Structure 1
Amino acid sequence: MHGPTDRRLDDESFAALKAEVLRAAVELSDDQLLDLTDAMHVIMRLRRPGRPIRHPDGWVTDELRSFA
């Protein structure tokens, strides 16, 4: 069984992806770059332990800010 920490691109694929993202980033508007950055942050928040998976649309809706 694979856990969340087992996800990984091989080094060559990751290097190619990173190079392409950085190459494309110089062509993006500030709004597009912020949108892409926000989307990556959403993915990181979804990976937090205890995040309810039963809400598959969670990556496109605002996260509740409840500390109760």
Structure 2
Amino acid sequence: MPHCTERCLCPENFTALKAEVIRAAVELSDEQLMELSDALHSMIRLRRPGRPISHDSGWMVEEEAPYLP
């Protein structure tokens, strides 16, 4: 099993999480699925250099237009 020095789930836990999210997504409304997707994208933006997630100001996410297919 690989050793993580930073944020990391062990591969088995990540696989289980991913499978559960995909399973649950079938039950979500389009609005709920977009909200979950937007939240995950916000986490990616928060990890950009200069916006450390551990710093309170790093949690301020600029409003962006929602993704509309």
TM-score by length of 2: 0.72
Deviations 1:17-57 (A, max 9, x none): 00000000000000000000000000000000001623264
Partner of 2:56: 54
Structure 2 unaligned residues grouped into runs of 5+: 65-69
Structure 1 unaligned residues grouped into runs of 5+: none
The code of the aligned residue for 1:14 comes to F
Deviation at 1:14, TM superposition (A): 0.2
Superposed CA RMSD: 2.3
The code of the aligned residue for 1:19 comes to A
Between the two structures, name the one with larger relative contact order (CA 8 Å, sep ≥ 6).
1
Aligned ranges 1:10-29 → 2 under 5 Å:
10-29=10-29
**Percent of matched pairs sharing the same residue:** 59
Contact 2:25 2:33 in 1 (8 A): yes
TM-score by length of 1: 0.73
Aligned equivalents of 1:57 and 1:33: distance in 2? 21
Deviation at 1:6, TM superposition (A): 1.6
Partner of 2:67: none
